[in-house]
Structure 1
Amino acid sequence: MKASLLLAAMLGLAATGRVCCAQQAPPAIAAPTASAAPMAAAPPVADDSLAAAVGTSYLDKTVRGFGRAEILGPDGKTHFVWIPVNLMGFSKYLPFHRHEEDLKRFGREPFSIDVDNVQSIKVNGLYQEHMVLKGKRKHLIATRLVNGPVELFNYTEIVQTSAAMVPVAGVAGGVMMGASGLGGFPDRQWFLRRAGEELVKVGRGDFVAQMTAYFHDDPELLSVLNAGQLHYRDMVKIVQGYNEYRTRPAAK
Structure 2
Amino acid sequence: MVALAAAGQANAQESGAAAVTPATSVPVAVPAPIAVDDSLTAAIGTSYLDNSIRGFGKAEILGPDGKTHVVWIPINLMGFSKYLPFHRHKEDLDRFGREPFSIDVDKVQSIKLNGLYQEHMILKGKRKHLIATRVVNGPVELFNYTEMVQSGAVMVPVGGVAGAMVMGGLGVGAYPNRSWYLRRQGGELLKVERVEFIAQMTAYFHDDPELVAALRARKVHYREMVKVVQGYNEYVTRPAGTR
Asked if structure 2 preserves the Cα contact closer than 8 Å seen for 1:118 and 1:130, the reply is: yes
Residue 42 of structure 1: how far off its partner (Å): 5.3
Question: Cα distance 1:77–1:41, how it changes in 2: closer, same or farther (>3 A)?
Answer: closer
Q: Secondary structure at the match of 1:141?
A: strand
Residues in 2 aligned to 1:30 and 1:81: alpha-carbon distance in whole angstroms = 15
Paired residues for 1:91-240 under 5 Å: 91-163=81-153, 179=169, 182-240=172-230
Matched, 1:62 2:52: yes
Q: Taking structure 2 as the reference length, what is the TM-score of the superposition?
A: 0.85
Residues in 1 aligned to 2:168 and 2:194: alpha-carbon distance in whole angstroms = 35
Matched, 1:33 2:24: yes
Residue 136 of structure 1: how far off its partner (Å): 0.3
Asked if structure 2 preserves the Cα contact closer than 8 Å seen for 1:19 and 1:79, the reply is: no
Question: Cα distance 1:178–1:207, how it changes in 2: closer, same or farther (>3 A)?
Answer: closer
Residue 49 of structure 1: how far off its partner (Å): 2.6
Question: Cα distance 1:110–1:180, how it changes in 2: closer, same or farther (>3 A)?
Answer: farther
| Residue matched to 1:44 | 33
Residue 19 of structure 1: how far off its partner (Å): 4.2
Matched, 1:244 2:237: no
Pick from 79, 86, 90 the counterpart of residue 80 of structure 2: 90
Q: Secondary structure at the match of 2:150?
A: strand
Q: Taking structure 1 as the reference length, what is the TM-score of the superposition?
A: 0.82
Residue 179 of structure 1: how far off its partner (Å): 4.8
Residue 106 of structure 1: how far off its partner (Å): 1.1
Alignment root-mean-square deviation, CA: 2.5
Residues in 2 aligned to 1:207 and 1:72: alpha-carbon distance in whole angstroms = 32
Runs of 4+ in 1 over 4 A off after TM superposition: 17-22, 163-167, 176-182
Residues in 2 aligned to 1:136 and 1:105: alpha-carbon distance in whole angstroms = 39
Q: Secondary structure at the match of 2:134?
A: strand
**Aligned amino acid, residue 116 of structure 2:** L
Asked if structure 2 preserves the Cα contact closer than 8 Å seen for 1:67 and 1:83, the reply is: yes
Asked if structure 2 preserves the Cα contact closer than 8 Å seen for 1:20 and 1:77, the reply is: no
Residues in 2 aligned to 1:241 and 1:20: alpha-carbon distance in whole angstroms = 44
**Aligned amino acid, residue 34 of structure 2:** V
**Aligned amino acid, residue 12 of structure 2:** P
Question: Cα distance 1:110–1:182, how it changes in 2: closer, same or farther (>3 A)?
Answer: farther
**Deviation by residue 1:39-76 (Cα, 9 ceiling, x = unmatched):** 12352325423212212221122000000110000011
Q: Secondary structure at the match of 2:218?
A: coil
Q: Secondary structure at the match of 1:64?
A: coil
Residue 94 of structure 1: how far off its partner (Å): 0.2
Question: Cα distance 1:60–1:163, how it changes in 2: closer, same or farther (>3 A)?
Answer: farther
- In structure 1, stretches of 5+ residues that fail to align are 1-12, 168-175
Asked if structure 1 preserves the Cα contact closer than 8 Å seen for 2:33 and 2:55, the reply is: no
Asked if structure 1 preserves the Cα contact closer than 8 Å seen for 2:20 and 2:28, the reply is: no
**Aligned amino acid, residue 81 of structure 1:** V
Q: Secondary structure at the match of 2:235?
A: helix
Asked if structure 2 preserves the Cα contact closer than 8 Å seen for 1:159 and 1:187, the reply is: yes
